[in-house]
A and B are shown apart, each in its own frame.
Chain A
């Protein structure tokens, strides 16, 4: 079945440590997105990528980095510069920008906790 896989489901990070969240899709979607979800704040866009080897900052990119070396993969690194990383992280994908009537397909999320 086609879909998006996020791993791990739960992740614990020590202070000052970088961690990488995985996002893989087999939907042949061109666009991929990372969102952060905090209680009561809805979804905030961190980074997005419309095509391989290209990505853009979203609304809250500081302290995060991404890469898009393959169409299927869009990993997110939470760096030590991110001062409050505890949150639920959602990855999504979508067909290309030319098909704006398509919605997003979401992964099941990664819950990151700083310990």
Chain B
């Protein structure tokens, strides 16, 4: 079975500081991992994904994430946070070998304080 955990409901960070939003996953096979962002009353927007290859993936708006197979993690990071990054962030996993649909984490609300 597939599952995703986002251990923090809320992350607060000051503008200009680095940010991390944590994600851990569980799959039977190999994972496809995604991050999505949701602004109020909007659908989810794709940020970045890990399919294969380099463990560090770069995505939209300066975000990046590192795939760590041994720790089954895919934490989202950004070197310098902006107030406009404040949103709800979802991690999602799809089992490359056994899964059909995505499983989404519960979401982490990021607040960047000016």
Contacts and interface: CB of A to CB of B under 8 A. Distances in A.
Interface stretch (B15-23, B78-86, B92-100): B92-100
A85 to B, nearest CB: 18
A43 B42 contact: no
A43 B104 contact: yes
Given A40-B9, A43-B90, A48-B101, A100 B96 contact: yes
A92 B49 CA distance: 17
A108 B39 CA distance: 10
Interface string A83-106: 000001010100001001101111
Interface of B: 9, 32, 34, 36, 41-46, 49, 51, 90, 92, 94, 96, 99-102, 104-107
30 contacts: A6-B43, A33-B101, A40-B9, A40-B106, A42-B90, A42-B105, A42-B106, A43-B104, A45-B101, A48-B101, A50-B100, A92-B43, A100-B94, A100-B96, A101-B32, A101-B49, A101-B51, A101-B96, A103-B36, A103-B49, A103-B92, A103-B102, A104-B44, A104-B46, A104-B92, A105-B46, A106-B43, A108-B43, A109-B42, A111-B41
